C-alpha cells in the first residue's frame, strides 16, 4: 500500500484524502470461519486502445477479469500459488486473509471464477490477526514437503503452515507450526521486506523489495529456514520493486519475478523478468525482460504471480492488490509464456 499512497497526488485531493484515511484506519482484518465467498467478475481486454492485443513481449494473452465482492475482507491480494491437484489458486492478502479461487476457463482462456472461499490467516495461537502489523502478509511459498510458508512485512518473519491447500478449503483453519526470523531484519524498512519468495525443494529463494544487495540491486537470500543463508544481488529494472517470484522449473533453475512501479505521471506499470539461478547461487543475478505492462495495456498494482506448469508449457497468472480502495482494482490475468525465440505455442 505504501507505494501507491505516496503517489496519490494524481488522483486529486478528495481521492487522496480518502485513501490516506483508509491507510491509517486499516482494512478489515481476516476473521470468521472458512466460508464460501461470492465473487462477481467482469471480463476485460488487454488493451484499452483500439484493436485487440493478444501478445505482449513473450506473453500470449489468455484473458483478464476484474474481481469484486461485497465482503469487506476481500481485496489486498499480495501473493498466490497454483494448485495443480485441483486447478485452483491459493491467495493471501496483506490484511491477514486466505482466498481460494477456482478459475472458470474455456478453451484455455480465463472467463471468470467458478468457486471461491475465504478464511483468516491464523496466528500461532490459533486466532485471527489482531492488528495490521501482525497481518501484513506479502509472500507465499510452497515447499517440496507440501508445507506453505507465509512471509510478513512490518514484523518481518515467516510462518509455516504444514498442510494448507486450495484443494481442501477446510485446511485454511489450521495454525502455523513454525516461525522463522530472517537475518538482520532490524535494518529493513517496515514496508520493504520479503515481497518475492519462492520455495525450491526445502529451501527458499527471497528477493527483498527495498533492501540493497551486496553489490547493488536488491538483496536476495537463498537457503533453508534456520540454516545458513547465502546472499546475492537481484538487479531489478531501474525504479521497480520485486513483488512476487515463482519457479518456472520444479528444480528452481529458472525463476520468473514480477516487478511493479507507480509514478504520478506514468501511473502503474509492471515488468516480468526471468533469470537462471545457478547451483549454489551467484553474487549478482541479472534477469532478462519477459514483458512490460503499462498503459494503454491493462495494469494496476501488480503484486501476485503464480506459474502453472503443464508439460513443456508455462502459464502465468498475475493479480493486483487494490489496497482496499475504489481507486484501484483487483485484477486476475492469465498468459502463456512463449519460448524466447517467439515461436508459437
For residue 217, the Cα-to-chain-centroid distance in whole angstroms is 20
Cα-based distances in Å from 325 to 8, 20, 321, 330: 12, 10, 10, 10
End-to-end CA distance of the chain: 36
| Pairing mode of beta strands 284-285, 230-234 | parallel
Cβ pair 252, 303 in contact under 8 A = no
List the one residue out of 168, 94, 135 whose CA is nearest residue 319.
94
pTM, two decimal places: 0.92
| pLDDT tens, per residue, the chain with 345 residues | 444 443 333 334 334 444 444 445 568 999 999 999 999 999 999 998 877 889 999 999 999 999 999 999 999 999 999 999 999 999 999 999 999 999 999 999 999 999 999 999 999 999 999 999 999 999 999 999 999 999 999 999 999 999 999 999 999 999 999 999 998 898 899 999 999 999 999 999 999 999 999 888 999 999 999 888 999 999 999 999 999 999 999 999 999 999 999 999 899 999 999 999 864 456 899 999 999 999 999 999 999 999 999 999 999 999 999 999 999 999 999 999 999 875 554
CB 240 within 8 A of CB 259: yes
**100: part of which helix (H) or strand (E)?**
strand 97-106
Q: Dmax over Cα atoms in the chain, in whole Å?
A: 54
Confidence at residue 194, expressed as pLDDT on a 0 to 100 scale: 96
Ramachandran sector of residue 252 (left: φ over 0; alpha: ψ -120 to 50; beta: rest): left
Closest of 145, 37, 30 to residue 76, by C-alpha: 30
* Half-sphere exposure at residue 251, Cβ-oriented, CA atoms within 13 angstroms: 6
Q: What is the pLDDT of residue 278?
A: 62
14's enclosing H/E stretch is: helix 13-25
Confidence at residue 3, expressed as pLDDT on a 0 to 100 scale:
46
**CA-CA distance, 306 to 36, in Å (whole number)?**
22
| pLDDT for res 48 | 86
CA distance 222 to 215: 16
Hey, how many other C-beta atoms are within 10 angstroms of the C-beta on 132?
Answer: 18
Cα 195 to the chain's mean position, in Å? Answer: 8
Identify the pLDDT of residue 345: 46
Q: Where are the domains of the chain?
A: 2-337
Domain 2-337 architecture: 5 Propeller (2.115)
Amino acid at each position: 500500500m505504501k507505494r501507491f499512497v505516496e503517489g496519490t497526488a494524481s488522483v486529486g485531493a478528495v481521492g487522496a484524502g480518502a485513501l490516506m484515511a483508509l491507510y491509517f484506519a486499516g482494512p478489515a482484518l481476516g476473521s470468521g470461519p472458512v466460508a464460501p465467498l461470492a465473487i462477481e467478475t467482469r471480463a476485460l481486454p488487454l488493451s484499452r486502445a483500439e484493436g485487440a492485443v493478444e501478445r505482449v513481449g513473450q506473453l500470449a494473452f489468455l484473458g483478464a477479469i476484474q474481481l469484486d465482492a461485497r465482503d469487506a475482507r476481500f481485496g489486498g491480494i499480495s501473493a498466490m500459488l497454483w494448485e495443480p491437484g485441483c486447478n485452483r489458486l491459493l491467495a493471501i492478502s496483506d490484511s491477514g486473509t486466505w482466498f481460494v479461487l477456482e478459475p472458470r476457463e474455456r478453451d484455455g482462456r480465463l472467463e471468470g471464477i467458478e468457486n471461491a472461499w475465504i478464511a483468516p490467516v491464523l496466528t500461532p495461537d490459533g486466532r485471527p490477526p489482531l492488528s495490521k502489523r501482525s497481518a501484513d502478509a506479502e509472500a507465499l511459498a510452497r515447499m517440496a514437503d507440501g508445507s506453505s510458508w507465509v512471509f510478513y512485512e512490518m514484523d518481518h518473519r515467516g510462518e509455516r503452515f504444514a498442510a494448507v491447500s486450495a484443494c481442501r478449503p477446510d485446511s485454511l483453519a489450521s495454525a502455523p507450526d513454525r516461525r522463522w526470523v530472517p537475518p538482520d531484519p532490524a535494518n529493513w524498512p517496515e514496508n520493504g521486506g520479503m515481497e518475492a519468495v519462492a520455495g525450491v525443494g526445502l529451501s527458499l529463494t527471497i528477493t527483498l523489495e527495498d533492501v540493497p544487495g551486496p553489490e547493488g540491486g536488491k538483496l536476495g537470500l537463498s537457503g533453508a529456514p534456520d540454516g545458513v543463508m547465502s546472499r546475492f544481488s537481484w538487479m531489478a529494472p531501474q525504479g521497480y520493486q520485486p513483488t512476487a517470484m515463482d519457479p518456472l522449473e520444479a528444480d528452481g533453475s529458472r525463476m520468473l519475478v514480477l516487478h511493479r512501479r507507480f509514478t504520478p505521471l506514468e501511473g502503474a506499470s509492471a515488468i516480468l523478468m526471468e533469470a537462471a539461478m545457478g547451483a549454489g547461487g551467484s553474487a549478482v543475478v541479472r534477469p532478462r525482460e519477459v514483458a512490460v505492462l503499462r498503459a494503454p495495456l491493462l495494469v494496476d498494482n501488480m503484486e501476485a504471480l503464480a506459474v502453472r506448469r503443464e508439460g513443456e508449457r508455462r502459464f502465468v497468472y498475475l493479480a493486483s492488490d487494490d489496497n482496499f480502495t475504489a481507486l484501484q482494482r483487483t485484477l486476475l490475468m492469465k498468459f502463456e509464456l512463449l519460448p524466447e525465440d517467439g515461436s508459437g505455442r
